[in-house]
């Protein structure tokens, strides 16, 4: 299959390109390098032993994106990762998030419509559930109140895709709701590289472990969870990448929504102690105030992806901690 991947040099995109190439798909990447590096291209080529075509274009530039569809001719499907993703930044710069994430997506969908490419996989997030009555989130639940403009862009795009499908049911759309993607490729060549001081837990742990930051703050130990710290569903990025391959393989006509998570909640303290044990490193941490907007606990109901996509996570929290640290050491 010839597949266009937007944001293919980013954290999740790069791992997905590797898994797609492994299955002999032809992968075309569009990435404007806003939040990624061109050298990732050589790395994914090295890991997979395959070549990727890169267009350094911005999805806001409709004419250029049309050129890609024109030149490539027989693109069959699009996986859309590209977008701004920093929760905190989106609170400060909502217009930047709404204008970029929404316009780039509608541009892409319009061009796909024009070229009659109607298979679309969208990177959504568990954040669209907002707060629910139970911590186990299932796809039949209604989307909830999002807690950041970033999250709202994900919910809005889901809605746009529903309206699009309603208007033309020849589309095949899979919305993938990621829980907490972490870890790195076991080769140590590709992984997560946030700009500046990380906001997310795993990247922050990396910086403390490598001595670049002094102390990890655990945001709250008085939540109604077994050890009082926040509980999330951490998913190894390679498992997540494989979920995209399955979503394309099993794609049928219609609009489908899938949770991609392990189905298991892990607390901040559990992640910290597992990291220490697996890598034999002592992490400097302290208990701090709760972070505004954080929920105590949520994790995926992962049954639908298992049943319909024949997909489940295979890697453990230990694998996550080992691979993330391996990448950090190789790239420090
Ligand atoms: N945490 C800490 N210390 C830190 C960072 C995080 O204790 O320095 C805790 C948080 O309080 C939370 C857990 O670690 O309990 C996970 O936090 P992350 O920031 O790593 O991840 P979130 O669950 O907050 O973020 C995820 C996705 C976002 C999404 C968001 C919406 O990464 O893309 O959920 O809730 F938008």
- pLDDT averaged over every residue in the chain: 97
Atom nearest to 230 CA in ligand 1: 15
Q: Cα–chain-centroid distance for residue 245? A: 14
Instruction: Taking residues 224-248, report their average pLDDT.
Output: 98
C-beta of 294 in contact with ligand 1 (< 6 A): yes
pLDDT band at 332 (very low <50, low <70, confident <90, very high): confident
Instruction: Taking residues 138-147, report their average pLDDT.
Output: 97
Determine the Cα–Cα distance for residues 295 and 290; give it in Å rounded to an integer: 10
For 194-205, how does the pLDDT look when each residue is reduced to its tens digit (9 = 90+)?
Answer: 888 999 999 999
Determine the Cα–Cα distance for residues 200 and 182; give it in Å rounded to an integer: 10
For 219-228, how does the pLDDT look when each residue is reduced to its tens digit (9 = 90+)?
Answer: 999 999 999 9
Element (H, E) at 2: strand 2-6
For residue 202, the CA-to-ligand 1 centroid distance in Å is 9
287 within 8 A of 221, measured Cβ to Cβ? yes
0.95 exceeded by pTM: yes
C-beta of 91 in contact with ligand 1 (< 6 A): no
CA distances from 85 to 82, 127, 237 (A): 9, 12, 16
From the list 55, 129, 137, 150, the catalytic residue is 150
Predicted local confidence at residue 194, as pLDDT: 87
For 173-184, how does the pLDDT look when each residue is reduced to its tens digit (9 = 90+)?
Answer: 999 999 999 999
For 291-326, how does the pLDDT look when each residue is reduced to its tens digit (9 = 90+)?
Answer: 999 999 999 999 999 999 999 999 999 999 999 999
Query: Minimal CA–CA distance to 122: which of 90, 165, 86?
Result: 165
Q: Is 258 marked active-site?
A: no
Q: Cα–chain-centroid distance for residue 298? A: 17
Element (H, E) at 16: helix 11-22
Q: Is 69 a residue whose pLDDT tops 80?
A: yes
């Amino acid at each position: 299959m010839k597949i266009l991947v937007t944001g293919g040099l980013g954290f999740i995109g790069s791992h997905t390109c590797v898994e797609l190439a492994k299955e002999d798909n032809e992968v075309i990447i569009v990435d404007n390098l806003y939040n990624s590096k061109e050298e990732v291209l050589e790395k994914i080529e090295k890991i997979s032993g395959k070549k990727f075509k890169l267009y350094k274009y911005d999805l806001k530039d409709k004419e250029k994106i049309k050129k890609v569809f024109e030149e490539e001719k027989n693109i069959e499907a699009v996986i859309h990762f590209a977008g701004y993703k920093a929760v905190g930044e989106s609170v400060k710069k909502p217009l930047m998030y709404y204008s970029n994430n929404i316009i780039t997506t509608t541009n892409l969908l319009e061009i796909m419509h024009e070229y009659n490419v109607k298979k679309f996989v969208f990177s959504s997030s568990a954040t669209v559930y907002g707060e629910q009555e139970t911590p186990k989130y299932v796809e039949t639940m209604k989307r909830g109140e999002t807690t950041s403009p970033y999250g709202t862009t994900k919910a809005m795009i889901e809605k746009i895709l529903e309206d699009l499908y309603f208007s033309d049911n020849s589309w095949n759309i899979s919305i993938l709701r990621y829980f907490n993607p972490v870890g790195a490729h076991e080769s140590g060549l590709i992984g997560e590289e946030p700009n500046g001081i990380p906001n997310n837990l795993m990247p922050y742990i990396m910086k403390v472990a490598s001595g670049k930051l002094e102390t990890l703050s655990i945001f709250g130990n008085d939540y109604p969870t077994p050890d009082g710290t926040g509980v999330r569903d951490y998913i190894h990025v390679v498992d997540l990448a494989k979920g995209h391959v399955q979503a394309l393989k099993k794609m049928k006509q219609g609009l489908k929504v899938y949770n991609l998570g392990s189905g298991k909640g892990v607390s901040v303290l559990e992640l910290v102690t597992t990291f220490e044990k697996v890598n034999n490193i002592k992490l400097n941490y302290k208990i701090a105030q709760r972070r505004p907007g954080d929920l105590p606990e949520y994790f995926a109901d992962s049954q639908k992806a298992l049943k319909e996509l024949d997909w489940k996570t295979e890697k453990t929290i230990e694998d996550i901690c080992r691979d993330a640290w391996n990448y950090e050491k190789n790239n420090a």
